[in-house]
Amino acid sequence: MDGLTPKQQQVETFITHFLHLHGYGPTLREIQEHLGCSSLNTVRSHLALLVKKGRLQRAGNTARSIRLVKPDPPMASPPSPRRPKKAAPSAPPGIPLLGSIPAGPVEEALITSDDTLALDAGLFRGELVFALRVKGDSMKNAGIFSGDYAILNSQDIVSDGQIAAVQEDGDATLKRVFRKPNGLLLRPENAALKERLVTPSEAKNVRIVGRLVGLLRIEGGRR
């Protein structure tokens, strides 16, 4: 299991045993219960990294769609599930809140993030959801204000006209994104600000890190 963290090895071993015993893959909830974690987003992060490392395949986003790329021989007996951590009844699974966008894979940052928003990630469309706090008024005409929390799905491709978090030199900004023959157009929703064309020569310093899938506004939270 070279290249896997201990937690990723635990996830892969559980999936291997589950497939051997049942003939089909576990659900996200079953993996969550085995790990004893409080958030399905953590499970999604581990699975996304295992897929990237070539250990798993997922046939779309349907239930029990997890498959091993190279199934390992089953152990003599499956590992005993851990007792899930008991959470407060009123506390929903949290959405990781990133203070900034990391230079490396967003999935790694989501696993290690200590800050969360007390929202169920299942309320939003996306496989790997995270949040950023909005600063500035560049998207005010789209109803996005400073102090709001932008809920994003981690992805590096969006359709023309969609609002995305774009990272440039370590800083993240929300903009509408359009692909043009001569580059990537980043358009603010504020008439006082100019749109910007990212040319191919500049593209190495710019990347899309997430698509806007929701917005949270807390009373008195604007700045």
Query: What are the CA-CA distances from residue 176 to residues 22, 161, 211, 212, 214 (Å)?
Result: 45, 5, 10, 10, 15
How far is it, in rounded angstroms, from Cα 172 to Cα 154?
Answer: 13
| The two three-digit tokens of residue 21, written as one number | 């015993």
Close Cβ partners of 70 (under 8 Å, ≥ 6 residues apart): 55
The catalytically annotated residue of 80, 138, 146, 194 is 138
User: Which one of the listed residues 175, 180, 201, 204 is annotated catalytic?
Assistant: 175
C-alpha torsion 102→103→106→111, nearest 10: -60
SS (H, E, C) 191-214: CCCCCEEECCCCHHHEEEEEEEEE
Instruction: Note if 138 is an active site residue.
Output: yes
Concerning whether 90 is annotated as a catalytic residue, the answer is no
Q: Tell me how far apart the alpha carbons of residues 129 and 214 are, in angstroms, rounded to a whole number.
A: 10
Question: How many residues comprise the chain?
Answer: 223
CB 97 within 8 A of CB 133: yes
Contact residues for 22 (Cβ-Cβ < 8 A; gap 6+): none
**Hey, which residues are catalytic here?**
138, 175
